[in-house]
């Protein structure tokens, strides 16, 4: 992103404060890192590009509250990098404040990074991201729509999601071929408390969506839980002839909460 006004707007939306630890993945040359460092207690800036990390370090050497990590934020695309996790944990303990992701995310890691942060023990208070518009639409999608899926269900079930604004290609250099969007996810404690076990909830989503365009009764009979869940779902008044992508978030939570005691 090259528009400083948009960066300011983005950081304003994230409500960055001095007691907060901010994770920025894909810091580039450090333009937004500079803005974040003036407001946050600590900025953990992560980028896999060696040259960009060197440029950002040189440009922001006057800031003493930025920690640069020159590696992939994800370990094997499935877990947050241990080095990144340790840095966040240490900073949160030191500042005794919340942790947020505020980043212009590289498109290829946007979905797995957001999912893994929510599933992790790091307990982010918010995820404020610039992402591919298509990914933003998936996050905001409603049940029954083509875009509705894991991102929609997980993020809507655990927090409040909002579209801050869409961005034209000209807001970036070099301009990408696709449009982008600023999206916010804010943790909702009441929603989180309504989910008995987050891992079981995600496994339930995966089970229901594994065979899109097929009735969920097939997945309920044969699944990774190793339990025939057909009667359980019917006892909850869930229509098992529906497809997984037609089930509202609350219905999936209800099913996952009923499954969880059976997995202990």
| Contact of 150 with 126, CB cutoff 8 Å | no
- Domain match, 12 and 69 both: yes
CA distance 72 to 81: 7
Distance between the two ends of the chain, CA-based, in angstroms? 47
Phi-psi region of 144 (alpha: psi -120 to 50; beta: other; left: phi over 0): left
Same domain, 123 and 14: yes
Say if residue 110 is in the same domain as residue 129. yes
Q: How confident is the model at residue 138 (pLDDT cuts 50, 70, 90)?
A: very high
Helices (H), the chain: 4-14, 31-39, 50-59, 82-95, 110-119, 133-140, 150-158, 189-193, 198-209, 216-221, 230-235, 249-259
Same domain (yes/no): 131, 104: yes
Q: Look up the domain containing 136 and give its range.
A: 4-189
240 and 183 in a common domain: no
**How many domains is the chain partitioned into structurally?**
2
Of 161, 189, 217, at which residue does a domain stop?
Answer: 189
CATH number of the structural domain spanning residue 232: 1.10.8.100
Q: Are residues 157 and 66 in the same domain?
A: yes
- 39 with 160, same domain: the answer is yes
How confident is the model over 95-126, as pLDDT tens digits? Answer: 999 999 999 998 889 999 999 999 999 999 99
Which tens digit of pLDDT belongs to each residue from 37-92?
A: 999 999 999 999 999 999 999 999 999 999 999 999 998 766 899 999 999 999 99
Q: Which CATH number covers residue 14?
A: 3.40.50.150
Q: Quickly state the pLDDT bin for 168 (edges 50, 70, 90).
A: confident
pLDDT of residue 77: 63
Is 0.85 topped by the overall pTM? yes
Q: Do 218 and 183 belong together in one domain?
A: no
């Amino acid at each position: 992103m090259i528009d400083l006004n948009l960066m300011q707007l983005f950081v304003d939306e994230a409500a960055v404060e001095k007691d907060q630890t901010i994770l920025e993945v894909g810091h580039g040359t450090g333009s937004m890192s500079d803005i974040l460092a003036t407001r946050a207690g600590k900025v953990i800036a992560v980028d896999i590009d060696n040259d960009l990390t060197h440029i950002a370090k040189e440009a922001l050497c006057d800031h003493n509250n930025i920690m640069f990590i020159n590696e992939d934020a994800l370990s094997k695309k499935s877990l947050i990098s241990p080095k990144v996790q340790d840095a966040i944990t240490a900073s949160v303990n030191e500042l005794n404040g919340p942790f947020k992701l505020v980043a212009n995310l590289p498109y290829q890691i946007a979905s797995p990074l957001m999912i893994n942060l929510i599933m992790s023990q790091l307990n982010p208070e918010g995820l404020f991201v610039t992402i591919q518009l298509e990914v933003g639409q998936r996050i905001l999608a409603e049940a029954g729509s083509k875009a509705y899926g894991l991102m929609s269900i997980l993020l809507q079930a655990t927090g409040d999601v909002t579209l801050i604004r869409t961005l034209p290609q000209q807001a970036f250099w070099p301009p990408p071929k696709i449009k982008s969007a600023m999206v916010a996810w804010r943790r909702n404690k009441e929603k989180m408390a309504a989910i008995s076990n987050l891992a079981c909830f995600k496994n339930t989503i995966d089970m229901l969506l594994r065979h899109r365009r097929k009735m969920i009764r097939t997945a309920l009979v044969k699944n990774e839980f190793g339990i025939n869940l057909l009667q359980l779902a019917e006892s909850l008044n869930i229509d098992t002839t529906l497809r997984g992508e037609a089930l509202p978030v609350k219905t999936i939570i209800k099913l996952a909460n009923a499954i969880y005691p059976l997995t202990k």
